[in-house]
Amino acid sequence: MLEREMEDALNKQINEELYSAYLYLSMSAYFESLGLSGFAKWMKIQSKEELKHAMKFFDYIVLQNGTVKLLPIKEPVHSWDSVLRAVESAYQHEVYITSKIYELVDLSQKLGDKATENFLQWFVEEQVEEEKNSYDLLNKVKMVEKNVAALIQLDSIVSNRKED
């Protein structure tokens, strides 16, 4: 059974994850508009990951006999100044999401909600992975930033990302 405060916070996190999916889909569209189909694919896969994260929260609330409340998803940015700026925002977004997961852990501890604290451990680990993936991408883009030929080559490399 979830306390109301915990249920509300988990519902907000569903929204954060759905917004993440929206943001990465928007980045995918931006990369498509630049002709960078590899980056577009990477972001589309990331967007699908976020939907899975949202569904984990959804299913957990249901499992705990709580009520899922879907909130409005805010409009994401549609374009960025450069490839570098886009991947920088992807990384910063993951750091932000990590902070939201930590807030949920803090709340579960404050409420003595062991089940939710345990459930959130998957996300604590997942965020390490999420930050690393976007940080690696950011570093690669930094390396090739001013070299169009190298960027096109990188586009082909990142297109190898597979869905989990």
Binding residues vs ligand OFO (CB under 6 A): 17, 20, 50, 53, 94, 97, 130
Nearest residue by C-beta to ligand OFO?
Answer: 20
Nearer to ligand OFO, 16 or 151 (CB): 16
DSSP code string of 16-71: HHHHHHHHHHHHHHHHHHTT-HHHHHHHHHHHHHHHHHHHHHHHHHHHTT----PP
- Name the burial class of residue 99, with classes exposed (0-12), middle (13-18) and buried (19+) by CB atoms within 10 angstroms of its CB: exposed
CB of 39 to ligand OFO, least distance (A): 17
Q: Which is nearer to ligand OFO, 30 or 57 (CB)?
A: 57
Residue closer to ligand OFO by CB (options 122, 157) is: 122
Q: Is 120 helix (H, G, I), strand (E, B) or coil?
A: helix
Cα separation, 104 vs 9, whole angstroms = 7
CB of 7 or CB of 17, closer to ligand OFO: 17
Closest CB 91 distance from ligand OFO, rounded Å: 10
**Residue 55 Cβ vs ligand OFO, minimum distance, rounded to whole Å:** 11
Nearer to ligand OFO, 131 or 145 (CB): 131
End-to-end CA distance of the chain: 31
- According to DSSP, residue 145 is labeled T
Minimum CB–partner distance for residue 49 and ligand OFO (Å): 7
**Position 61: which residue type?**
I
| Alpha carbon distance 86, 121 (integer Å) | 29
We find the least distance from the C-beta atom of residue 14 to ligand OFO, in angstroms, to be: 11
